[in-house]
Amino acid sequence: MTSENKYCKFHETYNRQKWKIKSNNELKDMIEKQFNLTGDTFILMEYAINKLNDMDFKLKVMKVNLNNIKTRLSKTNALLNNTVSTVNVLRDE
């Protein structure tokens, strides 16, 4: 259920309940504010969860990129070691 659906559900519940409380407008206002806060809380939590999921995805991509760099550095290191060995062999001749 999306945050909009949850928010609408809270308002539907509020709209059904508020007619049961006819004599106390202050209480009705408090209930409405509580439903608004609850809806806003769900929206903010979903936003935070989405941001964390985005960060998790970006971190996984970054990990793959770092592993690729590590592989390239290992290959470069092997080539440099091979070059040093070749130079040493040539010097000895």
Name residue, tokens 């259920």: 1
- Asked whether 35 and 11 are in contact (CB, 8 A), the reply is yes
Q: What is the pLDDT of residue 26?
A: 75
Domain boundaries, the chain: 3-92
Residue 31: its pLDDT value, please?
77
Residue the block writes with tokens 């040493």: 88
pLDDT for 13: 67
Structure tokens at 72: 């390239």
Answer for the pair 32, 24: CB distance below 8 angstroms, yes or no.
no
pLDDT, averaged per 10 consecutive residues of the chain (93 residues), comes to: 61 64 70 82 90 96 97 96 89 80
